[in-house]
Amino acid sequence: MLILASASPRRRQLLSWLNLPFEINVADIDETPLPGESPDVYTLRLAQAKAEAVASRLNPMSDADLILASDTTVSLDGEILGKPADERVARDMLTRLRGRKHQVFTAVALFIPGKTLLAELCTVDVPMRVYSDAEIAAYISSGDPMDKAGAYAIQHAGFHPVDKLDGCFAAVMGLPLCHVMRLLHQAGNPLSLNMPAHCLEGLGYNCTIAARIYPIYKS
């Protein structure tokens, strides 16, 4: 059984595209950055810690238990932008991001029986469009930014914050599926799904990088 160590509805949605049965077992860890910790190192550390936290609760584990954990960090000029504490912070984040390129780091960790932990980090440069103050206000009034790192969701159809992405759309949402498939392959569970087709159908995004991540997509 595959166990997802996350309560995120977006991660549940994306993981369901792999057509694998899975259960939810939410990790509860301290997500405070360490002094001087860079966003990429921070993100990878949290994903690994989440997988290990769930694994510790399930010991002894069945041979079928694989634990998948993920963490996503929005970073602007090296600064970690977490979930906004209130509407004022959300407005400030969206204003700072407007018309600029920032980084989204999403790490995935897979805990395998036998105490093996595999992990990967996906980094995406995200160019934001020049949206107006009125668009920011309308988006904040929808309530959507309040549980999102960086105060935005790339997939929000009404706000549509990102302009001409060239990277993993699913990673910005919270779960880079080709990276997940690569980890599962390493764990002895290869999948032959056409994930670029799923991303095109489900997200409206024409992926150009899948072949670099998961060799099955190479022509």
Q: 94: closest CA among 44, 43, 45, 146? A: 146
Side-chain-facing half-sphere of 155: CA atoms under 13 Å: 20
User: Quick check: is 71 catalytic?
Assistant: yes
Structure tokens at 88: 């004022």
Q: Exposure of 204 by Cβ count < 10 A (0-12 exposed, 13-18 middle, 19+ buried)?
A: exposed
Q: Are strands 2-4 and 22-24 parallel, antiparallel or unpaired?
A: parallel
- Give the active site residue among 28, 30, 63, 71: 71
Side-chain-facing half-sphere of 127: CA atoms under 13 Å: 6
Q: Which residues are catalytic?
A: 71
